[in-house]
Structure 1
Amino acid sequence: MGKRNAIFVSIASFCDSNLLFTLESLFDTASGDLDINVGVFDQSFESINGSIERFQWGDRVRYLHIHPMHSKGVCWARSVIGSLFDGEDFYFQIDSHTMFKKDWDKFLFEQMEKLGKLSCKPIISTYPPPFEFDEEGNPFEKLVPSSYLYALRPKEEGFSSSDSYELKFKVFHEKGGDYITGFHLAGGFIFTLGSFVDEVPYDPWFYFHGEEQGLALRAYTKGWDIFHPRHDHIPLLHLYKQSGVKHDAHHWRSDLEQVRRVKWVERKKVSEERLTDLIEREGVNGRLGLGTERSLDQFIDFSGIDYRVKKINHPETRLVNV
């Protein structure tokens, strides 16, 4: 492998009791072939920095803490984490409730080397398959890994309203190939080159819905290529919210909303306006705006998402073998 390449892992955590589990899983399953540095922005009532420092890998974690009352949401948090990036070769964005498979770092590095022959700016991204905890608190993988591709497509209901550009996405299973070229990014799994942090920095004015759309639009128009992998080529698992579980690990949790000066609905409105301005090229310029390597019309043709008339067409399937 030559010199030891370095990975910067971005973790934005909000009142998440699984943050330490995620960190332990990340370091315990790493191959040791690459240097791993983690940027954590922990928005919680109590700091866990003391617990982190007791681990052998504690000095690999760049930890920030803030009371959740003062948080402005996940995109703001991820933009702050960008300031902890220190020139690592690769950027890996995950959620704070993630479990890893053995040698995840080596596998993703090798996949990026292969994709680098197809694109000078490759991104591996999709919604990871799920894991849960059993009654004894032991994590387990819910699905048997398959050869199906985890392609991201808009949900059937389309645009949320006539005056909004927001879409919701889900995984569609495609058969054949190692990857399928994509047009959407999953905030809980982005693995790419470190230069992504400078070229496509997080926009702190986004809130939650629309985050992934805006990021994907900006990445695509700046020349980045998205690749969705096969299920059995995804070396991480995600703990999804279960029905009946309170939103305690979500920014809009009711106890904090009751005393916040700026409510989550206000931040959501600003976020919706931000996505509108981005698409209409009116109010977002510079590094937080669209790129010049590809146009919005090219994105529309490539993705089938026609933002101009708010219509969704079926895109051409583009399978890739590496």
Structure 2
Amino acid sequence: MDTPATIFISIASYRDPELIPTLQDMLRHAAHPENLHIAICWQDDENLSLFEESGMTPEGSRIVDSHEVFAFRYRQARVDVISVHYYASQGACWARSMAETLYEQEAWFLQIDSHSRFIPNWDNEMIAMLRQLECKSERPILSTYPPPYCPGEDEEASKKRHVSRLIFREFNPQGIPMLCSTPFTASEPVRGSYLAGGFIFTYGDFVNIVPNDPQIFFAGEEIAMAVRAFTHGYDIYHPHQLLLWHFYQRKDHSKVWGDHSNDAKAQGAVDKAWWERDNNSKKRIRTLLGLEVEDAASLAPYTTGNTRPLRAFEYQAGICLQNGTALPEVMGAEKTNFFPTPPDDEAQWLARQYVWYKKAFTLKAADWQSNDQGADNLHLGVYTPQNVLLYKRTLDAQALRAESPDGNLTLSLEFKTVNAAYPAVVRVCSWSVTSGWGAVMEKPW
């Protein structure tokens, strides 16, 4: 029988050896495991013995939306598994959408990745924190990039203890906002504009109101969900206290883009290479964000809502999607991710925005020291495909040699333009008072 504390937990797991440790840690630290309904879209080799071997008790199977669902009981919690071969996967949000078909009107919704760890009594803590926000918002969401952990012998020591808020990083080549995070300290959750796919906690009906779009492959998932949640009336908050950890990078773990390769398609193992799904996914996200001529209504039911307009999201986040620009406060030291009031004058708001570019650029000693070991300056310029200069910088060669005696340099290039441009090439040339200009070295942006 349902209770006010029931939590529906959606987990997408792709060939992840951390899935079972994640479930074990989650249930070991839950205050009320009997109130948890865990739904897993398991994209692996379809060998279900893994679950029994880890101590789960099988309780039969049933058909939901034409998919067989294998039921288990583990430490009093319900664990439902949709098992598909990893070659049949269609991406992260497809797997999240599959898991959501198992929602049974639970009171709360938690979306995580299958490589997570939890604080003691995490379920009580999440519910209590969200309830504290009910006086500020009718539809609050808790979301952030959890601090990292690394599995293994030193797992406990590897857990970082900071909390972070999500911030805008850049527009990718398709004009889609990409995110990162920055630590913060506060006495209560702080408002934000962005959510993280690896941790969302809110009311259970979020599954019905803002379901995952199964055609979004991976990149852009978070801005799409943030925009849809906002326009449906949800307010995002970043937790001020630690709730869980996340295993990032996972360099040695299998990824869908490694398995779903051109070779795998040529051999008939998959019907589409990963990049084909990714291209379609990015077009859908661009449509949702108003960057394509196609109406966003064509994405139904995975559309924006009618509670608040898309422009209001841009005001709140300090970015203009159509222009690919952001306010100085967004990109400056303050890393502002939430503006509580809309601008009084939209024209002035737009006039204050810039297109921002940031790139780490590596030079080997031979790139700039080969012709003249006694160079006094290093001249650097960034150009468009039409050879228009976007940015230039003069560096003191003597200071560079002092910082990097071996001559190998890593330079951080950051600049802004009023209108969107497309950096194509970086040109570097040394200058010596005694011998003049050295050879021009070019590298792609």
TM-score (norm 2): 0.65
**Equivalent residue for 2:171, pick from 141, 159, 162:** 159
| Residue 61 of structure 1 pairs with residue 71 of structure 2 | no
Deviation of 1:252 (Å): 0.8
| Structure-2 separation of matches of 1:179 and 1:144 | 19
Higher RCO by CA contacts (8 Å cutoff, separation 6 or greater): 1
Q: 2:52 is matched by which residue type in structure 1?
A: G
Partner letter of residue 277 of structure 2? R
For residues 291-321 of structure 1, give each alpha carbon's deviation from its aligned partner in whole angstroms, at most 9, with x where no partner exists. Answer: 111111101100012102110223566699x
Distance in 1 (alpha carbons) for counterparts of 2:160 and 2:172: 33
Match of 2:16 in 1: 16
Identity across matched positions, percent: 30
Deviation at 1:166, TM superposition (A): 2.0
How do residues 152-231 of structure 1 correspond to structure 2 at under 5 angstroms? 152-155=166-169, 158-161=170-173, 164-230=174-240
| 1:25-104 equivalence runs, <5 A | 25-32=25-32, 35-45=35-45, 46-47=47-48, 48-51=50-53, 53-54=56-57, 56-57=74-75, 60-104=78-122
Q: Select the residue among 238, 254, 257 that pairs with 1:252.
A: 257
Which residue in 1 is equivalent to 2:360?
Answer: none
SS at structure 2 position matched to 1:31: coil
How many corresponding residue pairs?
306
Q: Distance in 2 between matches of 1:266 and 1:129?
A: 32
Partners in 1 of 2:313 and 2:36 — Cα distance? 34
Q: 1:34 to 1:235 in 2, by over 3 A?
A: farther
Q: Decide whether the 8 Å contact of 2:35 with 2:77 is kept in 1.
A: no
> 1:299 corresponds to which residue?
313
Residues 181, 59 of structure 1: CA spacing in aligned structure 2 closer, same or farther, 3 A cutoff? closer
The yes-or-no answer on 1:234 pairing with 2:242 is yes
Separation in structure 1 between the aligned mates of residue 311 and residue 207 of structure 2, nearest angstrom: 25
- Specify the code of the residue in structure 1 equivalent to 2:177: L
The CA distance in 2 between the partners of 1:85 and 1:118, in whole Å, is 27
Change (3 A) 1:145 1:247: closer
After TM superposition, give the deviation of residue 272 of structure 1 in Å: 0.8
How many Å separate the matches in 2 of 1:15 and 1:129?
Answer: 22
Q: CA deviation at 1:116?
A: 1.1
**SS of the residue 2:36 aligns to:** strand
The CA deviation string for residues 192-246 of structure 1, in whole angstroms up to 9 with x for no partner, is 000100000110110100101101000000100000122xx1211111125xx33
Aligned to 2:296, the other structure's residue is in SS state coil
Equivalent positions of 1:100-119 (< 5 A) are 100-119=118-137
Q: Does 1:265 align with 2:271?
A: no
Q: State the Cα deviation string for residues 4-28 of structure 1 (Å, max 9, x = none).
A: 5100000000000110101111111
Structure 1 runs, 4 residues or longer, greater than 6 Å off:
none
Name the structure where strand makes up a greater proportion of residues: 2
TM-score w.r.t. length of structure 1: 0.88
Structure 2 CA distance for aligned equivalents of residues 85 and 219 of structure 1: 18
* Residues in 1 aligned to 2:281 and 2:213: alpha-carbon distance in whole angstroms: 10
- Structure 1 unaligned blocks of 5 or more: none
User: Which residue is equivalent to 2:388?
Assistant: none
Distance in 1 of aligned mates of 2:146 and 2:10: 16
Q: Which whole-Å CA distance do the structure 1 matches of 2:144 and 2:137 have between them?
A: 18
Q: Could you tell me which residue of structure 2 aligns to residue 6 of structure 1? A: 6
**Highest CA radius of gyration, 1 or 2?**
2
2:263, 2:77 → 1: CA distance? Answer: 37
Task: Provide, for residues 231-267 of structure 1, a one-character-per-residue CA deviation record: whole Å limited to 9, x for no partner.
Answer: xx1211111125xx3351x211247653223001101
